[in-house]
Chain A
Amino acid sequence: EDQVTQSPEALRLQEGESSSLNCSYTVSGLRGLFWYRQDPGKGPEFLFTLYSAGEEKEKERLKATLTKKESFLHITAPKPEDSATYLCAVRLTTDSWGKFQFGAGTQVVVTP
């Protein structure tokens, strides 16, 4: 069964304290791995797409990496405005267009 697991469930950071979020997956065929940011009560905001092991993407204080079994979202020197829930999703090859399967998310709180 295809599974996407995110850890930790919640993370509390001091401003400037770097950390990493994990997204591990066991899927039969991966068409892409996606990271989203979601603020409370709002729709997810697209951050990155990763397609193959070894690929890295960066945006401001965020950097996403991908291996054959997991992806990491590194947050460098976070600020309070980085507080959000971070979701990862995989797109599968098992159907013609590939449905998205999401993890449960990691809730990040950054305090001043």
Chain B
Amino acid sequence: ETGVTQSPTHLIKTRGQQVTLRCSSQSGHNTVSWYQQALGQGPQFIFQYYREEENGRGNFPPRFSGLQFPNYSSELNVNALELDDSALYLCASSLPSGGAEQYFGPGTRLTVT
């Protein structure tokens, strides 16, 4: 069974640029969620995708957007990067059951300068 994978591992971008982060779900999982984790904080929910549609969103501006593909892999896109976007971005996959646990990937460390 393949776990959740994310790419790239690290990324350095300049303020105002755009970035795309990628995630492959754990085998059999069709629900993907993205989180932002600042240093010393718990993960903050960005949004969730199920069957290629966004079905939940946290308090993040529209410049954070996503996609889910038919193979359940996913992308997180962030436009007009700001310094405060520097964080660990985590992808988690799960079964669609409301009480199902989520399994996390290793994360992408984004640094905005």
Contact = CB atoms under 8 A, between A and B. Distances in A.
Nearest to A32: B99
Nearest to B58: A99
Given A41-B109, A43-B90, A101 B102 contact: no
Contacts of A81: none
A101 B90 CA distance: 14
B108 to A, nearest CB: 10
Interface residues of B, number: 30
Interface stretch (B11-19, B35-43, B75-83): B35-43
Given A41-B109, A43-B107, A104 B90 contact: no
Contacts, number: 77
A44 B96 contact: no
B45 A100 contact: yes
A32 B98 CA distance: 9
Contacts of B102: 34, 46, 100
A45 interface: yes
A33 to B, nearest CB: 10
A93 interface: yes
Contacts of B66: none
B98 A43 contact: no
A25 interface: no
Contacts of A34: 101-102
Contacts of B45: 99-102
23 contacts: A6-B42, A34-B102, A41-B88, A41-B109, A43-B6, A43-B105, A43-B107, A46-B101, A46-B102, A49-B101, A51-B99, A95-B55, A96-B55, A96-B98, A99-B33, A99-B45, A100-B35, A100-B43, A100-B45, A102-B45, A104-B40, A104-B41, A104-B42
Please give me the 8 A-B residue pairs with the lowest Cβ-Cβ distance, nearest first.
A102-B42, A43-B104, A32-B99, A98-B98, A104-B42, A44-B104, A43-B106, A43-B107
